[in-house]
Amino acid sequence: FAKHCGDGSRVWNLVPIGHQSGYGSGTDIHAGTDLEARKAIFGLVGDAYITVEGGPGVSAEAKVAHERGVAVLPLRRTGGASDGMF
């Protein structure tokens, strides 16, 4: 996905400290020491969120984003959290 977002100058990949995204495009931004910390931060940084499928983690991140007044667009037909499962 990231490789198809133009020259990558406006793509930021949020990854735990010490990890690399491996996407080959964009800039890796290191936040949190592990996946759980990254997930907690993820819902606090975006201007808008689009969810595709997802489990409880996606549901929690979308809830944090929604509670701070950010637009969250779930693609419901993909199922899972995007369809209200969690």
Q: What is the pLDDT along the chain (86 residues), one digit of tens a residue?
A: 778 888 989 898 988 899 999 998 999 999 998 878 878 888 888 899 999 999 998 998 899 899 999 999 999 999 999 999 98
Please give the full DSSP string across 17-80, using - where no structure is assigned: TT-----SSSEEEE-SSSHHHHHHHHHHH-SEEEEES--HHHHHHHHHHHHTT-EEEEEGGG-G
Look at residue 74 in the predicted model and tell me its pLDDT. Answer: 96
pTM: 0.70
